[in-house]
Amino acid sequence: MVKQLVASALLAFITFSSQAATYAVKADDFGRGDITAWENFFRELEPMGVKIYVGVVLEDLRNNPEALNMFNYLKRNPNIRFFYHGHTHDCGVDETGRKFGEFIAPLSEQEALLADGKAWLAEAGETTFIFNAPCGASDKRTAAALENTGYDVWFYPKKDRDDLFTGCKVRYTAKVENPTFTPNFESFGQQFKYIEKKGGEHLLQVHAGAWGGAKLEEFVRIIRSMQHHSASFGWVCEGA
């Protein structure tokens, strides 16, 4: 009995310690923001070998020749994948306190947007179709719209409402920007210790197009420190 207990405790320990955390960067709002800030971001990150998911705001990108040029360059980079992040990024909270967005809408409207986004991703060479709603704003119809249009992965901000989606879901709970738009070495360091123990897949959500030099430096400092502590960077939902 004692032997069995020791064996199972050991097994639990091995299982626990082999479940290393995996991290990828989730860079939102490509197509808008300062093109130089984007350029600096990719130039700094490229030699670091981390995996980056780039969220495209489709209407913005289509109307932004500089960003389109950069996109054509980036799509050859094996450490970069694109996901669909809405057409207009029109989202937020209205004066009555109600959330609004492109994906708080009738099913057919959401499906039309998602189908267009998916066709664009396919054209860009993506074979895994990933969605993340602008502002994280979705409603109870979004899961069905994603199912009906054949998305594989949903980057999802909360726990509720996602159980109807049968693809792979990853929540972006590791807050590397705190407050949003500002990378924060100190506050991320506290979470990092906890996440490393817990394991699982984690997305580091950033808004690099809104950063000036000091914010980029802070983010690079975070990634360097993670690499120094042997953090593992990789794609999430592999096999999805």
Residue range at the interface with Zn ion (CB under 5 A); choices 129-137, 175-183, 197-205, 209-217: 129-137
Residues 133-162 that bind Zn ion (CB under 5 A): 134
Sign of torsion, CA 193 195 196 198?
positive
Stretch of 44-52, 102-110, 127-135, 232-240 lying at the interface with Zn ion (CB under 5 A): 127-135
Looking at the Cβ atoms of 33 and 134, the one nearer to Zn ion is 134
User: Which own/partner pairs from 67-75 qualify as long-range (CB within 8 Å, at least 24 positions apart)?
Assistant: 67/30, 67/31, 67/32, 67/35, 67/38, 70/35, 70/38, 70/39, 70/42, 71/30, 71/124, 74/42, 75/124, 75/125
Q: Which stretch binds Zn ion (CB under 5 A): 26-34, 144-152, 169-177, 227-235?
A: 26-34
Check residue 231 and report its DSSP letter: P
Taking contact as CB under 5 A, which single stretch among the options 11-19, 20-28, 31-39, 213-221 is the one that binds Zn ion? 20-28
Query: Beta-carbon neighbour count of residue 137 at 10 Å?
Result: 19
- Which residue, 37 or 199, has its beta carbon nearer to Zn ion? 37
Q: DSSP per residue over 75-103, as a string?
A: TT-TTEEEEE--SS---EE-TTS-EE-TB
Cα 10 from Cα 2, distance rounded (Å)? 12
How many residues sit close enough to Zn ion to count as binding (CB under 5 A)? 3
Site string for Zn ion, 103-122 (x = CB under 5 A): --------------------
- Point out the residue whose Cβ comes nearest to Zn ion: 28
Cβ 43 to Zn ion shortest distance, Å:
22
Binders of Zn ion among 47-106, rule CB under 5 A?
A: none
Smallest distance, Å, CB 93 to Zn ion? 15
Instruction: Indicate whether 29 belongs to the interface with Zn ion (CB under 5 A).
Output: yes
* Alpha-carbon span 29 to 208, nearest angstrom: 9
Residue 28 or 111 having the CB closest to Zn ion? 28
Choice between 101 and 167, CB closer to Zn ion? 101
What does the buried/exposed string (b/e) look like for 9-47 if buried means 16 or more CB atoms within 10 Å of the residue's CB? Answer: eeeeeeeeeeeebbbbbbbbbbbbbeeebbebbbeebee
**Out of 22, 24, 27, 28, which residue is the one contacting Zn ion (CB under 5 A)?**
28
Q: How far is the CB of 57 from Zn ion (least distance, A)?
A: 7
Which residues contact Zn ion (rule: CB under 5 A)? 28-29, 134
